[in-house]
Amino acid sequence: MAILKIFSFLLSAIAITAPFSGCQPSTSNNELNSKPKETTVNSTNSHTKLVSTSSKPRWSIAIHGGAGGDLDRWSPQQRQARIDGLQRALSKGKSMLSNSANAIDVAEAVVRVLEDDPNFNAGRGAVLNEIGEYSLDASLMDGSDLSCGAVANIRKSKNPISLARAVRDKTPHVFLVGDEADAFGIEAALPTETADYFKTQEQIDSWNEWRKRQDAKKNTTSRNDHNKPEDRLFYLGTVGCVVMDDQGALAAATSTGGLLGKKYGRIGDTPIIGAGTYANNKTCAVSCTGIGELFIRNHIASAVSSRLEFLNESLEQASRYAIEKTLPVDSGGLIAVDAQGNIETIYNTPIMARGQANSEGLYRVGLADWVDGEPK
């Protein structure tokens, strides 16, 4: 009899928690949610921050500003400029979500703030390719209906993420590239800019330094060249945003200038749905940053979602698998939010510019260590 009572108590407990579990693995999320304080996990080759709150947040947001760069190379002013840029973008997202904006609108608006900021490798301030020119890639995805838009190798639209949005909103297609994509942006009356706007002195200087290094190497580029730690300095600044809004909708957006010195015509993971960007309300929203070729080969963004959907893993387990088990050390990171509002910001590089906020008062940004709270 006692055993029967315990059994029926357990059944009713499961029934009470079920509405909050959605299609997510309820055990691990509930485990996370039951922890009173935030937990920090560091392992030898990755850094992750787990966010736990006592109840499901009404909304959650995470941003990234790239998994590359080197703190020692940046002056205190450059570090502060990047922190300030993250703060501006996160504040924008927070204020829109507090006013019940849609996930896709928030993801686009936040990425626009980061694209306009020359301290990040997207829009203005993009890195330069092997011939010293810029070309821009971006994509976004709405987890409500899997609608998405992507653009690559564009050079005119001031905000590549808004051009990707226009592809989603105004065409039956997913992906436009090159001059034709830029022409579509002009037809859609999106603002354009010229090289003077996109090419910053900081990026011209970085390109000159890269050129000297290439000349010194005097060898051909091999398939895994971008995987060498000394090249880490140059992976900086791609931007992204993932959101769960107060209706439970998820969205992801990512924008980049790619890798410094990339081959003319090269396209990375950022505009490839499933590689650099993915969102599905049933599972999670993911935005990646790092060596694009590795993220494409391992379709990292959709792999995280699939692990939730088919293996019943938690967001933490799936994100860790992608960054710690699938990818080699020093290849990049990702941000993700799931349908319960849990957030992951995980990377296997020394730093990743990133930020997290939710409706329960979480608010912080960081390059390596976190800076808590909104700026005064």
Q: Which residues bind ligand ASP (CB under 6 A)?
A: 66, 68, 121, 235, 238, 256, 258-259, 268-270, 276, 289-292
Sign, CA dihedral 22-24-30-36, equals: negative
Question: How is 252-273 classified by DSSP, letter by letter?
Answer: EEEEE--STTPPTT---STTSB
Choosing from 48, 53, 238, 270, the catalytic residue is 238
Rg (CA), the chain: 20
Q: Give the shortest CB-240-to-ligand ASP separation in angstroms.
A: 8
Q: What is the C-alpha to C-alpha distance for residues 219 and 1, in angstroms, rounded to an integer?
A: 78
**Residue 25 or 258 with smaller CB distance to ligand ASP:** 258
Q: Give the shortest CB-103-to-ligand ASP separation in angstroms.
A: 22
All residues at 6 or more sequence positions from 51 whose CB lies less than 8 Å from its CB, including other chains? 32, 38, 60, 342, 343, 356, 358, 362
Q: Give the shortest CB-364-to-ligand ASP separation in angstroms.
A: 21
- E strands, the chain, are 39-42, 47-50, 60-64, 136-142, 147-154, 175-177, 239-244, 250-256, 277-279, 284-290, 332-338, 343-347, 354-358, 363-366, 370-372
Answer whether 195's CB lies under 8 Å from 179's CB: no
Q: Give the shortest CB-39-to-ligand ASP separation in angstroms.
A: 27
User: Which residues lie across from 239 on neighbouring strands?
Assistant: 255
**Residue 22 or 355 with smaller CB distance to ligand ASP:** 355
Query: For residue 138, how far is the Cα from the chain centroid?
Result: 11
**Residue 22 or 68 with smaller CB distance to ligand ASP:** 68
Q: Give the shortest CB-63-to-ligand ASP separation in angstroms.
A: 13
**Residue 48 or 359 with smaller CB distance to ligand ASP:** 48
Q: Give the shortest CB-135-to-ligand ASP separation in angstroms.
A: 10
Q: Give the shortest CB-120-to-ligand ASP separation in angstroms.
A: 10
All residues at 6 or more sequence positions from 110 whose CB lies less than 8 Å from its CB, including other chains? 61, 63, 89, 90, 92, 93, 241, 243, 253
Answer whether 368's CB lies under 8 Å from 71's CB: yes
| 157 secondary structure, DSSP code | B
**Residue 6 or 329 with smaller CB distance to ligand ASP:** 329
Answer whether 140's CB lies under 8 Å from 168's CB: yes
Q: What is the C-alpha to C-alpha distance for residues 276 and 160, in angstroms, rounded to an integer?
A: 15
**Residue 113 or 288 with smaller CB distance to ligand ASP:** 288
Strand order in the sheet with 39-42: 39-42, 47-50, 343-347, 332-338, 284-290, 277-279
Q: What is the C-alpha to C-alpha distance for residues 275 and 354, in angstroms, rounded to an integer?
A: 19
| Residue 238 annotated among the catalytic residues of the structure | yes
Q: Is 238 helix (H, G, I), strand (E, B) or coil?
A: coil
**Residue 167 or 327 with smaller CB distance to ligand ASP:** 327
Q: What is the C-alpha to C-alpha distance for residues 289 and 346, in angstroms, rounded to an integer?
A: 10
Q: Give the shortest CB-93-to-ligand ASP separation in angstroms.
A: 20
**Residue 238 or 283 with smaller CB distance to ligand ASP:** 238
Q: Is 316 helix (H, G, I), strand (E, B) or coil?
A: helix
> 116: which 2 tokens?
């306009």
Catalytic residues, by residue number, are 238
